[in-house]
Amino acid sequence: GENVEQHPSTLSVQEGDSAVIKCTYSDSASNYFPWYKQELGKGPQLIIDIRSNVGEKKDQRIAVTLNKTAKHFSLHITETQPEDSAVYFCAAVLSGGYQKVTFGTGTKLQVIP
Amino acid sequence: EAGVAQSPRYKIIEKRQSVAFWCNPISGHATLYWYQQILGQGPKLLIQFQNNGVVDDSQLPKDRFSAERLKGVDSTLKIQPAKLEDSAVYLCASSLVGQLNTEAFFGQGTRLTVV
């Protein structure tokens, strides 16, 4: 089955700096890669996603890149703010008769004011 | 639009007792997922329904866990008997079906503590 590895497990940055989280996946058939943000006491919420036919996608301060050949994808947050502090999960999705979603282990991001 | 509703929010039980969690997905979402999230880890899929049929339960410990989705809407997840290692947050999520790469919407989860 699919295996998703995520690094780093914890990340501390100063407010205004950039943060980068990296994930690798094992199944080359995975074709959709969402990123979720989970705040304390809440369920994960989708913040950005990328499909396998796209190399990069940007939404304001958040961007995601995908390298299908190397089977890795990354989340980039620029101009970080204290409200960006949360746990971030990457996921790899295999779409066939139904969607099969495999999550990474999570990155706890702390933005220091 | 109402989100995914889960209850209860918190539950504390003793080992070997039974417990049940309830989930009401977003209206019109045919796919429903139950995830187990142990502290410090990513969500792990327990079972996935499409309407009221099971499409993936490969990681569900079937000797103690069961789930049903009657009429393709609400779902319940049951643990009987519970073990200490079942302490986790149980997340329910739902998504549309029939479209590729659809977003999964999560509920707030039920935090289970087994003592």
> Do the chains contact at B101 and A93, CB–CB below 8 Å?
yes
Strand A72-77 and strand A19-25: the pairing is antiparallel
62-101 in A: which are within 8 Å (CB) of B?
89, 93, 95, 97-101
Q: Are B81 and B18 in contact (CB under 8 A)?
A: yes
What average pLDDT does range A76-104 have in this prediction?
A: 92
In angstroms, the Cα distances linking B50 to A45, B27, B35, B79 are 21, 14, 15, 21
Give the pLDDT of residue B106. Answer: 95
Residues of A in contact with B4 (CB under 8 A): 43
pLDDT at A67 over 80: yes
Cα–Cα distance between A64 and A55 in angstroms, integer?
Answer: 8
The DSSP code sequence of chain A is: ---EEEE-SEEEEETTS-EEEEEEES-TT--EEEEEEE-TTS--EEEEEEETT-SEEEETTEEEEEETTTTEEEEEE-S--GGG-EEEEEEEEEESSSEEEEE---EEEEEE-
Q: Report how far residue B82's alpha carbon sits from residue B14's, in angstroms, rounded to the nearest whole number.
A: 8
Amino acid identity, position B48: Q
Residues whose CB is less than 8 angstroms from the CB of residue A106 and which lie 6 or more positions away in sequence, other chains included: A6, A9, A38, A87, A88, A89, B40, B41, B42
Asked if A103 and B102 come within 8 Å (Cβ–Cβ), the reply is no
pLDDT band of residue B17 (cuts 50, 70, 90) is very high
Cα distance between residue B31 and residue B34, in whole Å: 10
Question: Is B63's Cβ below 8 Å from some Cβ in A?
Answer: no
Distance of alpha carbon B75 from alpha carbon B35, whole angstroms: 13
* Interface contact flag, B103 A46, Cβ < 8 Å: yes
The rounded percent of chain A whose pLDDT value lies above 90 is 86
Choose the mutation target among A99, A100, A103, A108 for the interface with B, i.e. most B CBs under 10 Å: A99
Give residue B64's identity as a one-letter amino acid code.
R
How far is B20 from B23, CA to CA, in rounded Å? Answer: 10
Residue B51 scores a pLDDT above 80: yes
Q: Count of CB atoms within 10 A of residue A79's CB?
A: 11
CB–CB of B106 and A43 under 8 A?
A: yes
Which of A55-59, A61-65, A99-103, B82-86 has the weakest average pLDDT?
Answer: A99-103
pLDDT confidence of A14, banded at 50, 70, 90?
very high
Residue B1 clears pLDDT 70, i.e. is over it: no
